Amino acid sequence: MEILYKSTRGHEDKVTASAAILQGLAADGGLFVPERLPEFDKTMEEFSKLSYQETAYEVMKLLLTDFSEEELRSCIRRAYDSKFDTEVIAPLAEVEGTYYLELFHGRTIAFKDMALSILPHLMTTAAKKNHAEGEIVILTATSGDTGKAALAGFADVPGTRIIVFYPKNGVSPIQERQMVTQKGDNTCVVGIHGNFDDAQSGVKKLFGDRELAAWMQERGFRFSSANSINIGRLVPQIVYYVYAYAQLLKEGRIVDGEAINVVVPTGNFGNILAAFYAKNMGLPIAKLICASNDNKVLYDFFRTGVYDRNREFILTSSPSMDILISSNLERLIYRIAGDNAAENSALMEALAGEGRYEITGQMRERLDSFYGNFASQEECAEKIRSLYDKTGYVLDPHTAVASVVCDKYRKETKDGTKTVIASTASPYKFTRSVMSAIDKKYDGMEDFALADELSRLSGVAVPQAIEEIRTAPVLHTAQCEKDGMEQAVKAFLEK
């Protein structure tokens, strides 16, 4: 049965999955959501016998219903191939009785690869299906990982160009180097003098600029997005939660139907929203544990029902979570408002105008499957050090946030439910923070020497993603003020 997509702000007709992917953001500024969430048509026992690629097809076919079987299988086959350094794509590592779902085995060693490896294929297929004319211009803001994963996915893809904005002083040195050394004649990377929220707000503003849209159309361009505001990012993320559960079942770690908890380090809310969708489609998840860093806007929201971005923006050792406006939370707000677009729109207007909103008591009751907490940088550093000392397993700072919050949840609730932590990045992406946490003696070493030392300590080879940027030339040097993003876009497209 066909699933159509509608805007969370309700001012548009429903569209197909391929049209929603191609458009990225709804014209009214809302996010596309499925009109309903279908139930899985395979049992967990059946899922346990499938490969990652087969699981991806069985999950994604339910939501991307206007893609033919041949189209969808082709996209999946091209996405989840030898660019991942393990055949299982998303392995589970058991450490001290907790299961770390390693989502960093792709080309850019972060979880964004899981969705951004397939998005270019979904998008170019969608363009053909919708007879889209002109070049697709992917416009993306990044807090560190989306940028490189999107650049790697779209580099030299015919009929596309990609422009990535990142906070110039708000990502790790490795993250920045990954982006500014990106090859591809159709790629553009711009450092903005501001934070991630400035970049994200600027991108949304450009999407809604009708004069710019007309300028683009005259020149044969159309915008789309590779951020998690694009439903084509969200749907592939549902897959790995299903796969993780199925692997636990296959290995006899759980029995069929046994509920698990899921802990997700959360910034823009897309990754945990995918777990929420999986739960609503039938995956036995008990608690969705939302882990924040010192920018704890989501922790405060789950504790109080008030979302308030009027606070100091803190640069932390987990920069991909340094976010005060969690865009994907809008999809959850829309759902707990009973799919009431008017109520959701009013809250989003309050956020844009006053920087805060408060949900109703009834809406809060519908958040009963969520738990929020946060971890300080000191707590994360201690977790990285102690876990390494005890087990030899090394966490990146974002996964450490999740691990600390997992410990807090267990201590607070005494809940012994088996737990999967979304491990969202390789420690090699944040070598300085990781090595400093393990031992302060490493503080004076340069980044690539730290990578070599981490390899020696952990016994894990330096990933190809790091090796290839050691000596790669810097190809992108553009910078702009936060109000100069439109000019940067035009400059690149007029080349």
Catalytic residues: 112
Cβ atoms 103, 238 nearer than 8 A: no
List the structure tokens of 432.
């300085």
Residue 358 phi, psi (nearest 5): -130, 130
List the structure tokens of 225.
């997005």
387-392 long-range Cβ contacts below 8 angstroms, 24+ apart: 387/95, 387/96, 388/438, 388/457, 388/458, 390/96, 391/95, 391/96, 392/458, 392/459
Cβ atoms 11, 112 nearer than 8 A: no
Interacting residues of 6 by C-beta distance below 8 A, sequence separation 6+: 12, 14, 15, 32, 33, 35, 341
Separation of alpha carbons 450 and 81, rounded Å: 29
Alpha carbon distances (Å) from 228 to 31, 115, 269, 271, 403 = 10, 9, 9, 9, 23
